[in-house]
Structure 1
Amino acid sequence: MQILFQLKKLLFILSLVFLFSCKQQKKEKFPDITPIKQGEIEYAKGFSIERSTNGITIIKITSPWPNAESAFTYALISRQKLASISLNKDEYDAIITVPVEKVVATSTTHIPALEALGVEDKLIGFPDTKYISSQKTRKRIDSGLIKELGNNESINTEMVLEMNPDVVVGFSINNQNKTYETIQRSNIPVVYNGDWTEETPLGKAEWIKFFAPFFEKEVMADSIFSQIKDSYLEAKILAKTAKQPPTVLSGAMYKDVWYLPAGKSWAAQFLADANANYLWKNTSGTGSLSLSWETVLEKSKTADFWIGPSQFTTYKSMSEASPHYQQFDAFQNKKVFTFSSTKGDTGGLLYYELAPQRPDLVLKDLIHIFHPELLPEYQNLLFKPLE
């Protein structure tokens, strides 16, 4: 009887230990989400970040493309927390374990952010690699470390599935991307990056903070963006000291229609911050304007400078394309500047890749063009005079 009693007592104690252990290992299902501190996202309008007290980061993309009707929400869980946290998958468009080790990117604007964070070695696939200009990433492409995936509209899904990345950073102009749907059905997370929809230079640059949580590099991203912001704002203040803002024309013709930046666009903001009088600064819209060449000539024949004449890199090619260009004073005075001549080894335009991430360099280029006395020792990186 004494032995039987001791056995029952032992079983009771073991059952308590087992019950307590189960309770300790039970996963948290309702993480306490607290908003990101005010001021951490200063300029970008297309995304937000929230962090929980137990290690979950929630990224919400509100502007994956222009006029998007719905937002995308992604949950990022640290590997150390993965075993103790359970989330309702129906509440999120993707749940990603971080830090990610293998990533597929789809826009050249993603490359500078990855390189700045020191995680370019995590990039394993990219569509249209020929458009990448960065020498650092090109070396990885040439070494076979980054696979060519076709083009963004029809990514080689078989290759993506075989590579099995931790996440695909997508880029899309609308919600009709069947390729991404195929990838998602194979349990590979796709997250949308909408940096290109931002309307301000610093708003675009701040998307480095979107990339940071995937690699647990938030502190580094904050520091990088702070330096870019300070550099940009210092240049902007310097530009204001110029006594005479020059008048500026932009754009060029395509099939007899002249396309140029609207007054609220990203490009127009650069010109304003460089203390230039962009002649269409008072127009509405954040995209481009479509005008006749006669209308443009009437308003800007005597403009001091011509910035961004489409793909043209020489005065000869402009003259051959249309004799109308020769009527502008900026053309006659050799005051036309382009970013189309600054290319990578395979022909990609560095401006499209680097400018969104480094708006301070764009602004300094323009200040040096408009007000060379303010930056006498500066060497332009992106904008160069036509040949």
Structure 2
Amino acid sequence: MSKKQFLTQVFSILFVVIFSGCTEKKKSLHVEQIQKESALRYATGFSIEENDNFKVLEVTSAWPGAETKFTYALVPREKLASITLPRDAYDAIVPVPVEKMVITSTTHIPSLEALGVLDAVVGFPNTDLISSPEARKRIDSGSIKELGTNEEINTEIVLELNPEVVIGFGINDTNKAYETLKRSGIPIIYNGDWTESTPLGKAEWIKFFAPFFNKEKAADSIFNRIEKSYTKAKTLAQKATQKPTVLTGGLYKDVWYVAGGNSWMSQFLKDANANYLWADTKKTGSIGLSLEAVLEKGVQADFWFNPSLYTTYEELHEANSHYQKFSAFTNKKIFSNAINKGATGGLLFYELAPQRPDLALLDLISILHPELLTDHKPQFYLPLR
């Protein structure tokens, strides 16, 4: 995979399309009487409240550091004609259950697939990035249309598809394509699953999708199984007698980016009972360092994960001869999440791992503590060739 393709892959996971719309109302509705708020145990970027007539979805973390919160009303189809909602109270009003949806990140696919509603998806930008076999069948049959790229989504095709909602995310609230679709009356909903810093926090965003299809019970059941599996794996990791040291990341131009101490990856390594060398830092994203600084701290690290876009030792050495100074290079203890790809080149890790952190954690445990999982076959983290 070229550097450009890799960056496109990552960009597709992180930056997607979003819009918002409104509908007219016919009589006033009092919404103060909230029956209940859905219990979220790990996710911090959204909430769901339910009253007698409709549900309110609030997204407070559409992107890192977002100061704007977005509020959406999800109204049963049969009640749309009989109730009126204040136009300025919601960023979008969506009839549910949704029958046609556009999504814009591969991280959305596993949740919809697990809920059994993938057939509602009618469009996606850069479909080559999708790995799911079921989704690829729908792409090949023309049921999921290609929408161009995340940077320049084809609004004409989206308008032809006429989805009831578009799910996406962005780095801010400025996007011309989103505004075009919003003016055309297509509701736009921000999804900020990628802003969560914990593995189970990301996975709990399956509950974000559930109310669009009245699948709350199914989402709760699915997430409970994932949480139980993750907790079981985490408990197993604590039985290890050794705590290997770990280095992450690699150079991009002259800067080495390692995972921050409060990042998703750092939490994985902590739960896998590893000694991550930058675990004491406060960053939730990546930290930019010099090669010299990383060499000083990580040259003797037992393991090295995610060396930029490289998947072989030869590529790594050709990129920078200094890489061979690391013990993990010499001892062939480097593992990448960029090796396992879908039929058209999409990276499986960026699609499935956010929804199935239990599987990713098992991968890490099997690598760091092979004596604990002798029969496990990793699917996300694979050794460099």
Listed as ranges, the gaps of 5+ residues in structure 2 are 1-25
- Partner AA of 1:42 in structure 2: R
Aligned-pair distance for 1:302?
A: 1.1
The CA deviation at 1:152 is 1.4
* 2:199 pairs with 1:174: no
- CA gap of 1:35–1:322, structure 2 versus 1, over 3 A, is farther
Q: Output the CA distance in 1 between the equivalents of 2:382 and 2:206.
A: 27
Q: Return the alpha-carbon distance in structure 1 between the equivalents of residues 286 and 264 of structure 2.
A: 10
1:51 paired with 2:55, answer: no
Which string of whole-angstrom CA distances, capped at 9 and with x for unpartnered residues, describes residues 80-106 of structure 1? 322332211221001110001000000
- The 1:342–1:92 alpha-carbon spacing in structure 2 relative to 1, beyond 3 Å, is same
Map of 1:128 onto structure 2: 126
Aligned partners of 2:65 and 2:320: how far apart in 1?
A: 35
- The alpha-carbon deviation at position 145 of structure 1 amounts to 0.8
Of residues 69, 74, 77, the one that matches 2:75 is 77
1:67 shift after superposition: 1.2
8 Å Cα contact 1:33-1:51 kept in structure 2: no
Look up the equivalent residue of 2:51 and give its one-letter code.
S
RMSD: 1.2
Find the aligned partners of 1:60 and 1:271 in 2 and give their Cα distance: 31
Question: Aligned residue for 2:17?
Answer: none
Structure 1 portions without partners, runs of 5+: 1-25
Tell me how far 1:254 sits from its aligned partner: 1.2
Q: Which residue of 1 aligns with 2:29?
A: 29
What corresponds to 2:300 in structure 1? 302
Tell me, yes or no, if the aligned pair for 1:340 and 1:349 is still in contact at 8 Å.
Answer: yes
* One-letter amino acid of the structure 2 residue matched with residue 297 of structure 1: L
Question: Residue deviations 1:288-344, cap 9 Å, x none?
Answer: 111111111111111111111111110010011111010111110111011111001
State TM-score, norm by structure 1: 0.91
User: What does residue 92 of structure 1 align with?
Assistant: 90
Contact 2:37 2:48 in 1 (8 A): no
Q: 2-side partners of 1:271 and 1:131: how far apart? A: 27
Q: Measure, in 2, the Cα distance between the counterparts of 1:53 and 1:229.
A: 30
Q: How does 1:192-271 map to 2 (within 5 A)?
A: 192-271=190-269
Counterpart Cα distance in 1 of 2:36 and 2:350? 30
Match of 1:75, SS?
strand
Query: Which letter maps to 1:283?
Result: T
The letter for the 2-side match of 1:295 is: A
CA distance in 2, matches of 1:215, 1:283: 40
CA positional deviation for 1:283:
1.1
- Give 2:20's aligned residue: none
CA distance in 2, matches of 1:268, 1:32: 41
Q: Distance in 2 between matches of 1:107 and 1:364?
A: 24
SS at match of 1:154: coil
> Equivalent residue of 1:145, what SS?
coil
Is the aligned partner of 1:117 residue 2:123?
Answer: no
CA distance in 2, matches of 1:184, 1:128: 21
Give 1:37 shift: 4.3
Using the TM superposition, give the Cα deviation of residue 28 of structure 1 relative to its aligned residue in structure 2, in angstroms.
Answer: 5.4
Aligned residue in 2 for 1:370: 368
Bigger-Rg structure (1/2): 1
- Which residue identity is paired with 1:87? L
**Shift in Å, 1:154:** 1.5
Task: Compute the displacement of 1:170 (Å).
Answer: 1.6
Q: Partner of 2:40 in structure 1? A: 41
What is the alpha-carbon distance in structure 2 between the residues aligned to residue 290 and residue 43 of structure 1? 28
Higher mean alpha-carbon deviation, 80-89 vs 297-306, is at 80-89
CA contact (8 A) 1:153 1:177 kept: no
Distance 2:158 2:315 in 1: 41
Note the C-alpha offset of 1:274: 0.3
Q: Does 1:348 align with 2:346?
A: yes
Q: Using the aligned pairs only, state the percent identity.
A: 62
Deviations 1:129-165 (A, max 9, x none): 1111111101110111111001112211111111100
| Aligned partner of residue 290 in structure 1, secondary structure | strand
CA distance in structure 1 between the partners assigned to 2:169 and 2:60 by the alignment? 14
Give the distance between the partners of 2:289 and 2:261, measured in 1 at CA.
14
User: Scaled by the length of structure 2, what TM-score is found?
Assistant: 0.91
Q: For the residues of structure 2 that align with 1:285 and 1:303, how far apart are their CA atoms?
A: 21
How much does 1:34 deviate?
1.4
Cα distance, 1:53 vs structure 2: 2.1
**Partner SS for 1:139:** helix
Aligned partners of 1:377 and 1:369: how far apart in 2? 11
